[in-house]
Structure 1
Amino acid sequence: MTTPRLLHIYAEAYAIKGYCIEKISPSNTSKYKAEKREEQIISCFERAGDLALLYLQEKEKSLSSQTVGAGPIEELQENIGPILETAIQQSPIYYIKHGDLEKGIGRFRELLRAVESRFSQGLRLTLARQLAEVLLRGVCEKTYKPPSIKGDIVNPSPRKYTGDGLFVPDNETEEALLLLLIAEVIATREAVLNRSAEHKQAQNITFQNATAVYNLLAIALVKRAQFDRLSESFERAMKFSFKEFHIWYQFANSLICARKYSRALLVLKECCFLRPKNVIVPLTAAKLCFEYLQKYEDGIMYAEKALEAGDDHPMASRAYVALGIGYSLKAVEMKLKADRQTLHTKALNAFLKAHALDPNDYLSLFHLALQLAILRQVEDAIKYTRLALKYYSEHIHSLHLLVLLLSAQKNYEEAMQLIKAALEEYPDNLSLLLTKAKLEEIVYCPEEALNTCKRMLKIWKDFQEIDSDEKSLSLILHPMKVSEATDRSTFDKKSQANLLLTELTDRETGSMRAESIAASRMEKNLSEVASSGNGLIQSQPEAQRTWRLLNQIWLYLADLYLSLDKMEEAEACVSETATLFPLSHQVAYIRGRVYEHKQKYQEAKACYENAISINPSHTSSLQHLGMVLHELDNDKLAEKMLRDAVNMEPTSHQCWFYLGLVLESLGHSEGAADCHATALELELTSPVVPFTVIPRLMQ
C-alpha cells in the first residue's frame, strides 16, 4: 500500500526530473526530439501534480481518522513545499507557453476538479486565479469550449468531483466568475487580520493574493455591468483592507457605478484621508457632489482640496473647472442678487484660470462659454464655444450650447442646421430633439414639431425595451446565471437615459435648485405609491427613469397642442402623464395651463397653487399664477407671485414682462416701464430654452 509519505517522495521525484530535463539544453535541433522532450517535461509535471494532490487527499484522510482526543495536530498548516507547488502550476502554464491554450485550460480544470482538502486551499486559490486570468485575457466567446465533466482516469490520480448535478458554465465569463468567486472565498478566509509586526509578512502576502483576485473580479464583473455584485465583493474585502488605498478606491468606484452615490462619497472621504496628495480622489468626490448629490458646499470644499496641489499640477486646470462649477451651481441657490452676482463672478474667474492653465482643454472652454451665456454675454460665449469645438468637435454639450447661443442671437436658420448636424452624430439624444422641436415651432410651424415628438416616442420605446428585456423569463428560471442582456452597452444606454432625464427635467426654467431636486424626489416617491395600483411604474430605478422620460415627452406634447389650440389632444396628454406621475408638480402645472387656456381661472389657480405647494421654486407656476391672479383682479397678490418668480429666475423676460403688466394695472407706471425695458433687453439674448438645461458636467 502506498503511504502519503511515499506519494510525496514520488511527486517530488517527478517534479525534479521535469525541472532537470527543462534545464538541460537539447543535444540536437531535431524537431521530433524537441517535441518528445516537451512531452516528457509535461508528463513529469502532470504526474507530479496528480501525485501531490493525491498526497494531500490521503493526508487529509489519515488526519481525519485520528481520534479527537489525540491532541492538537501541529502539522495541519503544513503545505506541499515550493517544489511541488510550482510543478503543479507548471503543467498548464507550459502548455500555454507553447501555444496550446486549449490543453492548458483543460489541465487547469483537471487540477481544480480534484476533491478539495484543507491543505490545498492556497493552491486552489492560485490555480483559480490563474485560470480566470487566462479566460478573461485569452479566450473569446467564439473560441470558448465549456468544461467536460467526463475525463480519462489516469492511475494514480487524485479523486475528483463527479455527479449529474455539477454546474457547467456556458461561457468564458461565467467560468471566470465562478473561479474568482471561489478564489475570493478562500482569499478572504485566509486573510491575516492580525496587524502586529510578527505577522506583517504573512499579512502582506495574503493581502496581495486577495488584491489580485479582486482586480480580476472587477474586470469580469464590469464586462457584464454587475456593479452591485462588485461593490458587495469589495465590501467584504474591507475587513482586511485597513488603510489600503487601492481597495478603498476600487470600492468607491464600484459604488459610483452601482449608483450608490451617498455611500461612495463617504468612501472617497476615507480615500482622501489615506492619500491626501492624490488630486483625482477629491475631484471624483466633487463630481459626485455636483452631479448627483447636489451638495454644492461640499463639492466646493473638495475642489479647493484638489487645488492644494498647486497650479503646477497637471490636474490643476480641471480642479479650477470643478471649483467654477460649484460656484455657478451655488449661485442658483442664492436668494439675494448681490450674493448671486458674487458667486457668478467667482465661477467666471475660476473658468478663466482653468483656461489660462490649459488653453487647449475643451472642458474649461465649454464651461467658460456656458458661464458667459448664463450672464448673457452671448458674443464672447460663442467665441469660446467655437474654440471648445475646435479641440473636441463631437462634444455634445458644446454643440447644444452653440445651438442655444445662435437662437439667442435670433439666428434660427443656422441653429436649425447645426442641430440637424448634431443629431446625425447623436440621433437618440432626447434633449437635442426637444430643442429641435422648439426651433421648429419658430422656424417652421408647430405641426412640424409633432413629427419630432413622434421620433422621441420611438426612442423612448427603445429605452423601455431595454428594461423589459432585463425582466425576461430566463432571469427567473436561471437566477444564478449572468444576464446576457446586462452588458456594458446596455448599462451605457441606461446611463444615457439617466443623463437625459437630468437634462429634460423642468426645461421651461432649467432649474437646478436644491429645493427643485428635493421636490422632484419627493413627488417621485409619492407618485410611485399613488400609481402602484395600476402596475405601470415598476420598482426598479431603471424602469422609473424610462417612465419619467416618457412623462417629460407627454408634458411637452401637451404644451405643443396648447399652442395649436387643440384642447382635446392636450387634455389626453395630461391624462397620460397624470397616470404615470399623478402627484408631479409639472402635471399640476400643465393641467393649470389647460384650464388657463379655457379661461377657467379659478381651476387654473388651484392647479398652480398645488404645483407650488409641491415645488415652491417652480418659476413657471409662479409666473402663470401671477397672470391668473391678474385676470381675477387680484393684482397685489399677482405682483407678489411675479416678484418671487423674478427673484428666482432674474433672466426670464416673460416674468419681467408680466410683472410690468401687473404694475401698470396697479398704476405704478415708472416701475412698469423699468420692467418692460428689462424684459426687452433680456428677450434680445433669450434662447429657445434656458441655457441652464445644459448639464454642468466634469467630463
Structure 2
Amino acid sequence: MTARKSGSRLEIEIERCRSEAQWDKIPELVRQLSAKLISNDDLGELLLGECKLQMYLKENPIKQGTSPRVQRPKLLEVRKHLTAALDRGNLKPDYIQEASLLMAKLCYVEGEYKDALGHYSKVNLDDMQLAGAPVYRLSMIAESYATKGLCLEKVPAASPSLSNKNAGSPASNRSMTEREQEIITCYEKSGDIALLYLQEAEKALSAGIQNRSPKPGPTAQDQELGYFLETGLQRAHVIHFKNGNLTQGVGRFREILRAIETRTTQNLRMTIARQLAEILLRGMCEQSYWSPLEDPPVVSPLDDPTRQGHTHSKSYSLSRRPRVYSGENLFCPQENTEEALLLLLISESMANRDAVLSRIPEHNNDRIISLQSASVVYDLLTIALGRRGQYEMLSECLERAMKFAFEEFHLWYQLALSLMAAGKSARAVKVLKECIRLKPDDPTIPLLAVKLCIGPLHWLDEGECFAKMVIDMGEKAAEFRAKGYLAIGLVYSLKATDASLRSTQEEYQRKALGAFQRAQSLSPTDHLAAFYLALQLAVSRQIPEALGYVRQALQLQGDDVHSLHLLALLLSAQKHYHDALNIIEMALSEYPENFNLLYTKVKLEAMCRGPEEALLTCKHMLQIWKSFYNLTNPSDSGRGSSLLDRAIADRRQLNAMTLPDFSDPETGSVHATSIAASRVEQALSEVASSLQSSAPKHGPLHPWMTLAQIWLHAAEVYIGMSKPAEATACTQEAANLFPTSHNVLYMRGQIAELRGNMDEAKRWYEEALSINPTHVKTMQRLGLILHQLQRYSLSEKVLRDAVQVNSTAHDVWNSLGEVLQAQGNTAAATECFLTALELEASSPILPFTIIPRAL
C-alpha cells in the first residue's frame, strides 16, 4: 500500500516535470521509478527516449524554413530507448500511443518523412482523447498534428511518374485540393490544441506555485513554444494567404487572437495582431469586411477567383477547445479601419510593455529587435490614423514611442510630422530641432521648420535661423538651396510688414528682394521664386516690374491661384478694374471655392458693375460656405437680413473641410500685433458668447471666421449703398459669431458714421483699437472724427501712428494732410497730399498682403 502511494507520488512528479518541460530531472525520477517495480522499465525507456529527444532539440533547435536532416548516430540512443519500449509490449495503451508519437517525431527530425507518416497512421491522432488528458499529452498531440502537416508537405502526393502522367486532370486536381485541406486541418488542429495546452499549463503552474513552497525551477516566463507548436500556430494562415484565400486566413488570425492570452503567446499575439492589421489596411475594403462575430462569406472578392470552389472549409471538431474571451460588454469593431486600429493599439501596448531599453552591449540585439517591432507598429498606426485624419491621436501614440527614440531619426521625424498635422506647431519645431541634430545634412528638415515658423507660429527670428541652415549647406543642399533663399526671403518680407520704423521696413524689403532674386537665379524654372519676387515688388509698389515677374510665374505654372490673384491685384493697382475682374473670374472658374478670390471679386464688382452684383457674390459665398462645412451657425437667431434668409435657409449637416487662415478683411494684415489681437478677441468672443448663448461654436474656428468675413464684406457693400439697416443686420450676424472682433467693432463705427452719430462712431473705433492697436483703417477713421471734433493734435498723433504701421496707406496720408492743413502747416500738408497721390496711383483694390506668404 505504501509502495503504491509512493509510486503515485512519483508518477505525479514525473507528469509535472513533463508538463513543465523540466527534462533534466527525468533521468533521476526514472531511476527511482525502476527501483520500485521492474515492470516500470518499459515506461522508463519511454521517458528516457522522450527526455533525450527533447534535450537534443533544445540544444539543436530546428529553425523555421529549414528541413531537418540529422545524422542518425546522434539520435541512436533515442531510437534505442523508444524501440525497446514499443517492442516489449508491456506498456499501457496510452503510453504505447505516446511512444509511437515520439518515434514519428524522431523520424521527422532524422528526415524520414514517410516513416513518420507510417507511425501516425498506426496511432490515428483523431482518436486520441483531449478531455481529461494530462497537460503534457496535450502538448504532444499538438506537436504531432504539426509534425504530420510538415511531413505531408514534404512527401509528394504520388510518385513522379504518376504525377506527370495525370497532371492537370480533374482527379489529380481534386486529389491535390484534398491533400491541401488535410495539411491545413492538421495545422489548425495543432494550433487549437497548442492554445489549449498553453492555457492549461499556465493554470497548472499557477496552481502548483500556490499549493507548494517555492522551489528553484523554471517560471512561466521561461516556457517556450518550440518549433512544432509555433509551426502549428502560424502555418495554417500562411498557406491560406499563399493560396489566395484571404477570407480563411483572416478568420484563422481572429480565432487565435480571440483565445485567452497566456504569457507564452504574447509575442506571437503581437506579431499576428500586426499582420492582421496590415491585411485589413492594405487588402480589405469596407465592402468586403465582415464582423469578427459573423461567419466569413462563402464567396468574397478578397479570395483568388481562380480558386473559387477549392477553398478550405473547417470540417473538424475537437472535444476540447481553447477558452476564448466572452461576455456581454466586449467591444466588437464594425469596420476594417476600426479593427486594424484596435489591433495596432493592442500591439503598441505590448511593444511598450516589453521594450528593451538597456544600452549595455549584451542587450544590443534584443534592443534592436524590440525597436524594429515597435517601429513597424507605429508605421502602421500612422497609416491607419492618417487615413482618418486623426493626427492628434497619432501624435499622442508617437509620444509614447519616445522611450525607443534615443538617436532614432525615423521615430523623431514621424512625431514631428504628426505634430505638424495636428496643429501643434510649437512642439513640432522643437522636435524638428532634434531631427536636425540627428541628420544635419538633410535640407528638408529645416525647411519644414521654416514653414511652421513663418506660417502658424510667426516666429520670424527662428525661421531666419532655420533658413540660414539650408543656405549654409551650400552645394550639399542641391536643389533645396533655392528653397532656402525663398524661405529667408519670406522671413524678411514678413519682418518688413511687422516693422514699425520705415527705415527698417525698407531694409527688410531690400533683403527680401535680394533673397528672391537669388532663389530665382538658382531655380529659374520654379514658379514660386518668380511669384514671390513679383509679390515683393508689388508690396514695394514697383508695379511694372512686378507685372513682368508674375507673367513669368504664370508661364511656368499657368493655373497657380496666387499668381492669378496677384495679376488681378496688379491690374487693379493700374486702375484696369475690368481686366482685373476678368482675371478673377477666370481664376474662379478653376478655383470656385477660393474665398480670397471671391473677396476681391466683391470689391471689383462694386467698382465696375455696381453694388447689386457684389451682393449677389456675397450670397454665392454664403452658399459655398454652407456647402463646405458640417456646422450649424450658432448666430442664427431668425433676425437676419433678407440676404441671410435667402442664402442660408437650409441648416442641413455637411462635411467639414479646412480653409486658409483668417486674415483681416480690410488690410489682409499678418502683423505680429494682428496675430496677438486675433487671439485676444477669440478669447473675449468665447467669453461673450458663453454669456449670451448656451450654444457654443463647434469645431475649428476657421469656418466661423470665414463666415464672419463674408458678412462683413456684405455690410461694407451696404454701407457703400448708404443702407445702414441692412449693414447693421449683416454686422450683427458677424457679431453673433465674434462679439469682440475689432473688425466687427470697426464696421459698427462706420455704420454710426453713416447715420451721422460721430460720438458713437468714436466710441466703437476706440473699442476696436483697444483690441487691435495697429488696425490702420480704424486709426484712419478715428483720426478723421477727431479732426471733425477739432482735436487736431490727437488726430495728428493717431494718423502718424497709422502711417508708421502702414506707410503705403494713401487714405491715411490724405487724412494726415487734411489735419495738418487745418492746423496751418501747409508745407507738410502738401507733402502728405503728394505722397497720397503717388501711393493712390499704385494702390490695389485690396492690399497685396491678402495673398498668403507661406513656404
- For the criterion TM > 0.5, the same-fold answer is yes
Q: Does 1:201 align with 2:201?
A: no
Q: 1:73 to 1:601 in 2, by over 3 A?
A: farther
Q: 1:540 to 1:257 in 2, by over 3 A?
A: farther
Q: How does 1:391-430 map to 2 (within 5 A)?
A: 391-430=556-595
Question: 1:277 offset after TM fit, Å?
Answer: 2.1
Q: Does 1:97 align with 2:242?
A: yes
Question: 1:119 offset after TM fit, Å?
Answer: 1.2
Q: In structure 2, which of residues 506, 510, 522 is the aligned counterpart of residue 357 of structure 1?
A: 522
Contact 2:146/2:190 (<8 A) preserved? yes
CA deviation map 1:227-286 (0-9, x unaligned): 221112112222232222211221122222221222222222222222222222211111
1:12 corresponding residue in structure 2: 143
Q: Does 1:527 align with 2:700?
A: no
Q: 1:575 to 1:130 in 2, by over 3 A?
A: same
Q: In structure 1, which of residues 629, 647, 667 is the aligned counterpart of residue 786 of structure 2?
A: 629
CA deviation map 1:501-550 (0-9, x unaligned): 43xx21322211111110110111011101113337626551x3322222
CA deviation map 1:71-124 (0-9, x unaligned): 466343332135543552332132122111111111111111111111111111
Q: Does 1:507 align with 2:665?
A: yes
2: CA distance, partners of 1:670 / 1:272:
57
Q: 1:34 to 1:652 in 2, by over 3 A?
A: same
How many residues are treated as equivalent by the alignment?
671
1:59 corresponding residue in structure 2: 201
Superposition TM-score, scaled by structure 2 size:
0.75
Greater relative CO (CA pairs within 8 A, separation 6+)? 1
Report percent identity of matched pairs: 47
2:279 corresponding residue in structure 1: 134
Q: Quick one: which amino acid aligns to residue 70 of structure 1?
A: P
Q: In structure 2, which of residues 457, 466, 491 is the aligned counterpart of residue 302 of structure 1?
A: 466
Q: Does 1:655 align with 2:812?
A: yes
Q: How does 1:117-156 map to 2 (within 5 A)?
A: 117-148=262-293, 154-155=317-318
2:113 corresponding residue in structure 1: none
RMSD over equivalenced CA pairs, Å? 2.3
Q: Does 1:547 align with 2:704?
A: yes
Larger deviation, residues 4-13 vs 150-159: 150-159
Q: Does 1:596 align with 2:753?
A: yes
Larger deviation, residues 404-413 vs 610-619: 404-413
2: CA distance, partners of 1:16 / 1:378:
83
Q: In structure 2, which of residues 233, 238, 263 is the aligned counterpart of residue 88 of structure 1?
A: 233
2: CA distance, partners of 1:467 / 1:697:
31
Question: 1:361 offset after TM fit, Å?
Answer: 1.6
CA deviation map 1:297-347 (0-9, x unaligned): 111111112223224523212222111111111111212222211111111
The runs of at least 4 aligned residues of structure 1 exceeding 4 Å deviation read: 23-26, 149-153, 466-469
Q: How does 1:256-405 map to 2 (within 5 A)?
A: 256-312=420-476, 313-405=478-570
1: CA distance, partners of 2:745 / 2:253:
64
Contact 1:507/1:690 (<8 A) preserved? no
Unmatched 5+ stretches in structure 1 = 470-488
- Highest CA radius of gyration, 1 or 2? 2
Larger deviation, residues 623-632 vs 457-466: 457-466
SS in 2 for 1:465: coil
Q: 1:241 to 1:683 in 2, by over 3 A?
A: same
Question: 1:466 offset after TM fit, Å?
Answer: 4.5
1:667 corresponding residue in structure 2: 824
Question: 1:194 offset after TM fit, Å?
Answer: 2.0
Q: Does 1:619 align with 2:762?
A: no
Question: 1:23 offset after TM fit, Å?
Answer: 4.8
Contact 2:450/2:467 (<8 A) preserved? yes
Larger deviation, residues 422-431 vs 30-39: 30-39
2:174 corresponding residue in structure 1: 32
Q: 1:536 to 1:308 in 2, by over 3 A?
A: farther
Larger deviation, residues 672-681 vs 440-449: 672-681
1: CA distance, partners of 2:600 / 2:357:
58
Q: 1:534 to 1:275 in 2, by over 3 A?
A: same
1:74 corresponding residue in structure 2: 218
Contact 2:193/2:321 (<8 A) preserved? yes
Q: Quick one: which amino acid aligns to residue 556 of structure 1?
A: H
Q: Quick one: which amino acid aligns to residue 109 of structure 1?
A: R
Question: 1:610 offset after TM fit, Å?
Answer: 1.6
Q: 1:279 to 1:466 in 2, by over 3 A?
A: farther
Larger deviation, residues 580-589 vs 108-117: 580-589
Question: 1:390 offset after TM fit, Å?
Answer: 3.0
Contact 1:347/1:371 (<8 A) preserved? yes
Superposition TM-score, scaled by structure 1 size:
0.91
1:475 corresponding residue in structure 2: none
Q: 1:628 to 1:128 in 2, by over 3 A?
A: same
Unmatched 5+ stretches in structure 2 = 1-131, 297-313, 635-653
1:494 corresponding residue in structure 2: 657
Q: In structure 1, which of residues 235, 239, 247 is the aligned counterpart of residue 403 of structure 2?
A: 239
Question: 1:145 offset after TM fit, Å?
Answer: 1.7
